[in-house]
């Protein structure tokens, strides 16, 4: 009798454990974390229409391959864009999910950076507002001027250096090693 009761109790515990594990597995499949990468487009391979391959180079120089599906949203300045508008060198922010089973990244959205605005006319022509410095006319370039010669007193007025006054250099004292 005790063994029958133990078997029933064990069966109930195992059955409830399997249903709880199945519930956790379903929750994990629903909420994959969305990751973000910022960088510039290195290449875009659209040979496979089901999943194009976008390679993004991040600020560290690593190239990350990301698959783009037809559900991927591509936008620039908030407006939807075509995938073909992503040119090499375009700055992008890509939100993607990482599939652990296949080790592939699947893009959710691609946001292309806004095009650089044209330089305003005010900054392009500052020379017009400020007068140019006036240069003085250069001297004729016939021959370079020689540096002025230093005037020296005649050799007769300087006393001759006596050889006995010259002091020979002293050798450095050495400290005995201990």
- Quick one: CA torsion of 141, 144, 145, 150, rounded to 10 degrees? 170
Q: Could you give the CA distance from residue 79 to residue 31 in angstroms, rounded to a whole number?
A: 27
Structural domain includes residue 174: no
Q: What's the rounded Cα separation, in Å, for the pair 55 and 53?
A: 7
> Is residue 59, in this structure, part of any structural domain at all?
yes
Please give the pLDDT value at position 139: 56
pLDDT of residue 118: 47
Does residue 36 belong to any structural domain of this protein?
yes
Tell me what pLDDT residue 166 has.
59
Give the distance, in angstroms, between the CA of residue 178 and the centroid of all CA atoms in the same chain: 56
Does 45 fall in a domain? yes
Residues 6+ apart with CB under 8 A from 56: 37, 39, 40, 41, 42, 63, 64, 66, 92, 94
Phi-psi category of residue 72: left, alpha or beta, with phi > 0 → left and psi -120 to 50 → alpha = beta
Q: How far is residue 112's CA from residue 80's CA, in Å, rounded to a whole number?
A: 10
Q: Which domain holds residue 80?
A: 31-112
**Residues 96 and 107 sit within 8 Å (Cβ to Cβ):** yes
The number of distinct structural domains making up the chain is 1
37, 32, 45, 50: which is closest to 99 by C-alpha?
Answer: 32
What is the DSSP secondary structure assignment for residue 82, as one 8-state letter?
Answer: -
83: left (phi over 0), alpha (psi -120 to 50) or beta: alpha
Per-residue pLDDT of the chain (178 residues; tens, 9 = 90+): 667 766 776 666 666 665 555 555 555 455 678 999 999 999 999 888 788 999 999 999 999 999 999 899 999 988 999 888 889 999 999 999 999 999 999 999 999 987 655 444 444 444 455 555 566 655 555 655 566 565 555 555 555 555 555 566 666 666 666 6
Secondary structure of 22-40 as H, E, C letters: HHHHHHHHHCCCEEEEEEE
Does the residue 93 lie in any domain?
yes
Q: What is the structure's pLDDT at 7? A: 74
Has residue 85 been placed in a domain?
Answer: yes
Query: Which CATH number characterizes residue 84's domain?
Result: 2.40.50.140
SS3 160: coil
């Amino acid at each position: 009798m005790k063994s029958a009761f133990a078997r029933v109790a064990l069966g109930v515990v195992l059955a409830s454990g399997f249903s709880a594990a199945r519930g956790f597995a379903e929750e994990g499949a629903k909420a994959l974390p969305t990751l973000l990468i910022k960088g510039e487009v290195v290449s875009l391979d659209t040979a496979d229409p089901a999943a194009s391959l976008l390679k993004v180079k991040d600020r560290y120089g690593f190239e990350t391959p990301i698959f783009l599906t037809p559900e991927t949203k591509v936008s620039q300045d908030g407006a939807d864009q075509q995938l073909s508008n992503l040119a090499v060198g375009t700055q992008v922010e890509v939100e993607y999910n990482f599939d652990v089973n296949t080790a592939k990244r699947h893009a959710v959205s691609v946001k292309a950076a806004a095009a650089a605005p044209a330089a305003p006319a005010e900054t392009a022509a500052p020379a017009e507002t400020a007068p140019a410095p006036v240069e003085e006319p250069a001297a004729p370039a016939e021959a370079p001027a020689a540096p002025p010669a230093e005037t020296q007193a005649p050799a007769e007025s300087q006393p001759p250096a006596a050889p006995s006054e010259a002091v020979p250099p002293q050798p450095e004292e050495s400290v005995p090693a201990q």
